[in-house]
Chain A
Amino acid sequence: MAGFRTGLTAWARKRSIWVFHVNAASCNGCDIEILAALTPRYDAERLGVELVPSPRHADVLLVTGTMNPLMKDRLKTVYEQMPEPRLVVAIGACALGGGVMRDCYNAGHGIDTVIPVDLYIPGCPPNPEGIIYGILKLVTGIPDKPEEAQQVVS
């Protein structure tokens, strides 16, 4: 019975991916591509991806943009509001390592300096196809046992 429940949870987790999107000082380029990934041509809902309004409902946090000091605390707060197991995806060159803004005085060197990141999707900005491909890579990589999933997260 316990095995069945674990299996059921693992099955459900791979097929139901609710994402919450945070723009941490991004130029909007990645953000509109994330939105575009949900629209008819790409339709991420096919794969069970859904954009949810509150971080408390989310499984995956999509972060775009380089960090700036004002958004730093916000990003941490949002991350803390998410229930376990939670995964973080950094989207776009800025979120990966600062990108073209790397040496600006008010821009950070990527969001992994603030919160742990599970997957990086490079590009300036990545295509919607790239974003969907990345999220799928992420969830198919989720281990089947929840204990291991916890390790991946922390």
Chain B
Amino acid sequence: MTPIEVLQLLLFPGLTFFVWLAFLFEWLERKTAARMQGRRGPVVTGPYGILQPVADFFKLAAKEEIVPAESDSFVLRWGPALYFAAPAIGVAFIPVVGAQSILYDPLDLLFMLFILAFSTLMALMLGYASAGRYSTIAIGRLVVQYTGYEIPLILAMVTPAVLARNLSIAGIAAAQANLWYIFLAPVAFAVFIIAALAELEKPPFDIPSAKTEIVGGWMTEFSGNTLAYVKLTKNLSYAFLSALAVSLFLGGAGGPVLSADPTVQAVLYTVYFLAKLFAVGFVIFVIRTALARVRIDQATRLFWTILTPLSLAQLAVAILVVAR
């Protein structure tokens, strides 16, 4: 690995870039929700309140950390780091500048599936380790919800791979140069967004963190640094899943080539990518604000009886298209 690659990995378009994107996503989410609810949202912290999530993060990080007596302090100490690592590594496989991602493997889509599952597993372990009553109920719900959305999510992610006959994210993104897969496989895209809402625990699937039912969900017992990193990770996953949607269905960073200068074109690719990313994020914001929470049994029924058959059908169609 060259020093340039390390820098890319750490700064742009790697970790730092995506962490700031995560903050930006939280700010946009809060702003969108507030505007839709007839409020203004954060305004005083930074221009238009854009630094509000940053202030929240640093304030939490500087607070006392309380570890409940019954909890597993080892897991609580190292769990957040692993939980954070999952999307942090994942973003390195997303092509942001042009068609190349920083890390590349011909089979990295499978690794993404692993990362998504791992992230849920870490949430489960963290919630269980904190040994709170509400946390225990919440992780029960998390697991049930996970069994619901996991299969549609995988099927929806495999569909573009089938269409592109490629199992790497960069490869799939590059294969959409002419036609985005959102047009070829719109159902898979819709299923992906719905499953992503469930993975991110956003309404209407914020069942494992339903404030009005089980206090803070599996995060009830966290405080200080742990809470800061868990919240940051959730936002990072937000950006990561949106980026995945962009790469798998919206042609990644692809777009018209307007300049012969590679630097200018690189900037253009980044702009294309960000525009698509925020478009996807915005769809999620709007869905999240406009809907009420469903119940866990209703959610699983939706996933098993509607989304799984739908995504299976979509996959079959995709296979037929490719075979022809």
A45 touching B227 by the CB < 8 A rule?
Answer: no
Nearest residue (CB) in B for A13 is: B59
Interface string of B207-226 (1 = CB under 8 A from A): 00001000110011111100
The docked-state distance in angstroms from the alpha carbon of A56 to that of B66 is 8
Q: Which residues of A contact B58 (CB under 8 A)?
A: 8-9, 11-12
Contact count A vs B, C-beta below 8 Å: 95
Nearest residue (CB) in A for B45 is: A15
Tell me, rounded to whole Å, the shortest Cβ–Cβ distance linking A36 to chain B. Answer: 12
The docked-state distance in angstroms from the alpha carbon of A45 to that of B220 is 21
Interface size grouping (class) on chain A = 20 to 34
Which residue of the partner chain, among A16, A56, A85, contacts B220 with CB atoms under 8 Å?
A56
The B36-61 residues at the A interface (CB cut-off 8 A) are 37-45, 49, 51-52, 54-60
User: Taking the complex as formed, is B70 at the interface, i.e. its CB lies under 8 A from any CB of chain A?
Assistant: no
A83 touching B224 by the CB < 8 A rule?
Answer: yes
B42 touching A48 by the CB < 8 A rule?
Answer: yes
Q: Which residues of B contact A16 (CB under 8 A)?
A: 45, 52, 55-56, 59-60
The docked-state distance in angstroms from the alpha carbon of A57 to that of B59 is 11
CB within 8 Å for A57 and B216 given contacts A16-B55, A84-B63: yes
Tell me, rounded to whole Å, the shortest Cβ–Cβ distance linking B166 to chain A. Answer: 43
Q: Which residues of B contact A52 (CB under 8 A)?
A: 216
User: Taking the complex as formed, is B62 at the interface, i.e. its CB lies under 8 A from any CB of chain A?
Assistant: yes
Main secondary structure of the interface of B (DSSP, over half): loop
Tell me, rounded to whole Å, the shortest Cβ–Cβ distance linking A91 to chain B. Answer: 21
The docked-state distance in angstroms from the alpha carbon of A15 to that of B46 is 10
User: Taking the complex as formed, is A43 at the interface, i.e. its CB lies under 8 A from any CB of chain B?
Assistant: yes
B220 touching A54 by the CB < 8 A rule?
Answer: yes
User: Taking the complex as formed, is A115 at the interface, i.e. its CB lies under 8 A from any CB of chain B?
Assistant: no
The B201-243 residues at the A interface (CB cut-off 8 A) are 211, 215-216, 219-224, 227
Tell me, rounded to whole Å, the shortest Cβ–Cβ distance linking B181 to chain A. Answer: 38
Tell me, rounded to whole Å, the shortest Cβ–Cβ distance linking B138 to chain A. Answer: 11
The docked-state distance in angstroms from the alpha carbon of A57 to that of B54 is 16
Nearest residue (CB) in A for B31 is: A45
User: Taking the complex as formed, is B64 at the interface, i.e. its CB lies under 8 A from any CB of chain A?
Assistant: yes
User: Taking the complex as formed, is A29 at the interface, i.e. its CB lies under 8 A from any CB of chain B?
Assistant: no
Q: Which residues of B are at the interface with A, using a C-beta cutoff of 8 A? A: 30, 34, 37-45, 49, 51-52, 54-60, 62-66, 211, 215-216, 219-224, 227
Chain A to chain B: the 3 pairs with minimum beta-carbon distance, closest first: A83-B64, A12-B58, A12-B59
Sampled A-B contacts (21; CB under 8 Å): A9-B59, A11-B58, A12-B56, A15-B44, A16-B55, A16-B59, A39-B39, A43-B41, A45-B42, A46-B39, A46-B40, A46-B41, A46-B49, A47-B43, A53-B220, A54-B221, A56-B221, A57-B216, A81-B66, A83-B66, A146-B62
